[in-house]
Amino acid sequence: MKLLAALAAACIIIGTAPGAEPQPLPKRLVVIKVDGLPADLLQRNIDRTDPATGRYLLPWMRHVFVDGGTRVENFYVRGVSLSAPSWSMLDTGRHLVIRGNAEFDRAYPRVHDYLNFFPFYVGFARSRRADMPGVEVLDECGIPLLVDQYPYAARYESMQLYQRGVRWETFGAMLKSRIARPVREIVDESQIGVDFSAALLQQQERELIAKLADPKILYLDYYTGDFDHTAHLTNNEAAQLNVLRSIDATVGRIWTAIGASPLADRTVLAMVSDHGMNSDPKAYSEGYDLVRFFNSPAGGRHHVVTDRHPRDQYKLVGLDPFVSWVVNPTSDSTYLAGQKNYTTALLDLDGNERASIQLRNSDLNQLQILFGQLQKQDAQKNVRGVLAAEAMAIIERNRAGWMATAAGLREELPALERAIANESRIIGGQPKKFTAAERAEGIPLEASRRISDLENWQRDERGYSNYLRALERLLAVQPGDLDPMRLHIDELIPPGVMGQPNSLGQLQRYVEGPVAGLALKPDGSFDEARGFERINYFAALTGIHVRNATEEAWGSEPVDFVAVRVPRQSLASSLPARDLPDARAVFLYRDPADEALILSQTRDGVLWLRYVPVSGALEDEHGTLQFTRADWR
């Protein structure tokens, strides 16, 4: 509420002088959304003047938000520096449900690709999609957008990540405006290329300004990604300032149009940005190829899934905008060679100096290695018995968790099936055509939204049903079922299934492949500690070095730290009860001497965080995290 009050008090177009009569409450909201604009860059330039003219470099932002309004200088989106999570918080005012630009499902091969517009546009044209993927997820969680506070007929929404519907007339008007020009300009443009992004922004600005003249339109927004695109390409301050000045001119045109509108004295204008990025002109942005790392022996020999083709500017396949599931296979795998359908790492690489990494559960890797060895016809009977006993031991230690997951799925899937049947009946009774009045109220969108929901539910029902069947088969396995003639790995571990998230201990001792030969204990049982090749991902990731470190300040190690979640119960024997987190803690790792725990508790509705320096953290086979308290430094 404080944020909304600050914006309202800051941005009413006609300021209130001391002692003047109170102005009427705002009725209309206009929001300018600037993607990727760092607050410090705006702060540095909003007070600057041009030495040649003495005028401010950003005169309209200065006039609107400094001279006549208010800046919220300590406002930060509480989340990672990524567009999809940050805009979700800005557009809803709620804590994060969406935590990446792409999110993968661990139960079956599915990705929520929040930044890809093309499938949405095609689905909308076929009347099978009504909203961008991020909006669909928020709708499933019952979280409304700010735009939802206004009737459909009372809002103008630009094209953005959290977008409802598509106005094809905007595209048509944009194309018409590009064609209705002198022939020479069109010919010149055909030679150098058409900047559709700029043309679309110009058209949306024209439409927004026209809508301001209609007093029935109460919500309007304008989204621009120009600054974000430029800042990702270069940290040259002159180039970034050039884009910023263009946005400043847009602010001026919108501000002027507000002043001439019938709701001028009841309009709020706000400008927000979702995140910042490195805009230091002295710093040279560098990247590191994590896909290649996880493909390599040092990274675990994974078949890696990304939501885009890496290095797509060098590949024709990278031109396909409808791809959201790309398998990057490795030729180094020791037990999944030639089986790229068995993906074991999921990467959301699209971020500002961060990557989200998910690895297949280490115990599933162990089982697949053992199953593969059991399938060999030449395995001796005594060897097969040892391998089968080890496989059964892994199943037993996962039995409680798998049973709980299976029980939850058995409870939820019938409800989902009933919802699918009911929704199918409703959709079957929907009209195929709509009147002009119904279209003006957004009724066709609601019809398309139902179709999209149904297709998403059907896909989830198929995916989670397959996962449940695989869990039930694993739980039912007996030693006799592990005979080479009866063992079908793809029925027990389907391709694309990642299983439960790895514990901290599993990531410290992650199984990447088999060792040569059969490792046995003195009693003849399988030696699990020596029977698999393992990797400590905390040390492996922070131990990455590059040869061509271009800046001394950044060093030659591209990974600063690794963060993972830790369940409350793993800390029960290491922390006093009063310090235990409500649910999970976050473990940070830089090196064995530089580690930390972030503990969270909610007290009387207020979130409290405690930062605890530790060292030498190690999770044992029972899931207990042991560590030494370290000094602050």
pLDDT band at 349 (very low <50, low <70, confident <90, very high): confident
Residue 301: the pLDDT is 97
Q: Who's near 175: CB < 8 A, 6+ residues apart? A: none
d(CA 112, CA 141): 15
What whole-number distance in Å separates Cα of residue 531 and Cα of residue 366? 10
From the list 130, 133, 132, 134, the residue with the least C-alpha distance to 88 is: 134
CA distance linking residue 109 with residue 121, whole number of Å: 23
Whole-number Å distance between alpha carbons of 60 and 69: 12
Whether residue 184 is predicted with pLDDT greater than 70 in this model: the reply is no
Which pLDDT value is given to residue 192?
40
Name the helix (H) or strand (E) containing 614: strand 606-619
**210 three-state secondary structure:** helix
pLDDT at residue 38, as a whole number: 87
Of 87 and 285, the one with more pLDDT: 87
**543, two tokens:** 């131990």
- Residue 556 contacts residue 546 (beta carbons within 8 Å): yes
| Cβ atoms < 10 Å from Cβ of 400 | 9
Confidence of residue 378 (pLDDT cuts 50, 70, 90): low
The pairing of strands 111-113 and 155-156 is unpaired
- The confidence score (pLDDT) of residue 516 equals 84
The more confident residue out of 298 and 123 is 298
Per-residue pLDDT, 555: 82
Q: How confident is the model at residue 318 (pLDDT cuts 50, 70, 90)?
A: low
Interval 433-465: pLDDT, tens: 999 999 889 999 999 999 999 999 999 999 999
CA–centroid distance for 187 within its chain: 41
Distance in angstroms (rounded) separating the CA atoms of residues 252 and 256: 6
- Whole-structure pTM value: 0.88
pLDDT tens track for 124-168: 888 888 899 999 999 999 999 999 999 999 999 999 999 998 876
The whole-angstrom separation of Cα 379 and Cα 359 is: 30
As a whole number, mean pLDDT of residues 156-183 equals 74
Per the listing, tokens 């621009």 go with 224
